[in-house]
Amino acid sequence: MLGKFKAFAEKHPRLAAWILLAIGMVIILIIAARDVGLLWNQWLFLILATIGLAGLCVWIISWESEDDASQPSA
């Protein structure tokens, strides 16, 4: 299983980072808000928003690597 994910991550590094970051963020969300008493639709919205936020984070972080790749070395 780990070998398959490693091969997937080598082919699609941003998508793999998004998946891992989203899983971690959703776990933290569930732990932090478990005693709040949210309804199922509120949980669903928060989880979807968290997954979207993880994607935005990976996208923003990737800007730095794109800038490094586009600059010629001195």
Q: Give the long-range contacts of residues 51-55, CB within 8 A, separation 24 or more.
A: 51/22, 51/25, 51/26, 53/25, 54/18, 54/21, 54/22, 54/25, 55/18, 55/22
User: How high is the pLDDT of residue 61?
Assistant: 92
Q: What is the pLDDT along the chain (74 residues), one digit of tens a residue?
A: 778 989 999 999 999 999 999 999 999 999 999 999 999 999 999 999 999 999 999 999 998 876 666 666 65
Q: How far apart are CA 50 and CA 44, in angstroms?
A: 10
Confidence (pTM): 0.81
Two tokens, residue 34:
């478990």
- pLDDT on residue 72: 64
